[in-house]
Amino acid sequence: MIRNIRSELRRRASRKKAGILRRFFKTGPGEYGEGDVFIGVQAPDIRRVVLRFKDAPISVAGRLLRSPIHEERLLALLLLSCRFERGAEPERRRIFDLYLANTSGINNWDLVDLSAPAIVGGWLLDRSRNPLYRLARASRIWERRIAIVATRAFIRRGDHRDTLGIAKILLNDDEALIHKAVGWMLREVGKRDRDAEEKFLKLCYADMPRIMLRYAIERFPAARRREYLLGRI
């Protein structure tokens, strides 16, 4: 089956698109995606392949998740998300464990953002959130991003406590991709509970990286955004 999946991906591949994707996902020397390999398959086409092979065994997804090719890893994560959504608890546990055992392959923002809420957040909805706090303190940027983005699953259920707790841990992170992710999740909190977001911001906005603050207040009225940006809260 894995041979058929790879064949379907390559049938949709484009050298021109591969070049575009390499630039878009910053794969040059010193960039956050340095050395990643693209064959030029866009996300909608990858989703079509996922639909065709949605019943692929978890072991196949696990092998693809260890591939050097970005699109194969993305396909693996989408397959696992699909299986997780439909699976019973033992299968979901297996997928969650597989995910955390292979975070070295979940190494760009699209891979994190399209999978962490469904799998990591989905598994931890009614369980201890301690794994997220360990990830939030990890040395790898992508594990820290998994920690905050996974909380989107909780926010959708009206629970923002861990989003705010992890945001505080990551408040002074060195990486812009973490600043953006934290700001994004704070904005998601504000969509459902503006008072909770503002309470957090009033305590922390002066210490926030500028881009984190801008993401967090993006949906505020213009006058309120200016107050935050000018430090007049």
Residue-wise pLDDT tens digits, 109-150: 999 999 999 999 999 999 999 999 999 999 999 999 999 999
Q: Are 113 and 152 in contact (CB under 8 A)?
A: no
Got the DSSP string for 123-150?
HHTTS--HHHHHHHT-SSHHHHHHHHHT
φ/ψ of residue 69, rounded to 5: -95, 125
In this predicted model, what pLDDT tens digit does every residue of 81-99 receive, in sequence order?
999 999 999 999 999 999 9
| Reported pTM | 0.96
- For residue 233, is pLDDT > 90? no
Taking each continuous run of H as one helix and of E as one strand, the counts in the chain are 17, 0
Question: Which pLDDT does position 7 carry in this prediction?
Answer: 96
How far apart, in whole angstroms, are the C-alpha atoms of residue 7 and residue 15?
A: 16
